[in-house]
Amino acid sequence: MLHIINKSCSQSLSFNECLKRAGLDDCILLIEDAVLCARSAIFEKLAVEIMEGVSLYVLKPDMQARGISEADCVKRFQPVDYAGFVALTVENNPVRSWL
């Protein structure tokens, strides 16, 4: 399953709830303001355990639009471009958007 989150941790509890529910082999993609959650300083404050089998992605154009570099992010997040976003949606079924 692909989980897509678009709200930051300060705007919504979606990121925390998604992390609690993500299962083995699931993927989580942060887009729009949710990319702020991938920053090391914020992510470490969440102190949420993430299952090893969960893959974490962050949309690079949204990071760039918010002035976030790859060095600012937790290393477990893999940046993807729009083509990578499309590939994740094609490869993972179902897709769930967290509001």
What CATH code is carried by the domain that includes residue 85? Answer: 3.40.1260.10
Nearest to 61 by CA among 18, 40, 30: 30
Q: What residues have CB less than 8 Å from 4, skipping those under 6 apart?
A: 29, 31, 95, 96, 97, 98
Domain count along the chain: 1
Expressed as residue numbers, the domain containing 72 is 2-98
pLDDT, tens digit, for every residue of 69-97? 999 998 889 999 999 999 999 999 999 99
**Helix, strand or coil, per DSSP, at residue 7:** coil
pLDDT in tens, 24-68: 899 999 999 999 988 876 676 664 567 678 899 999 999 999 999
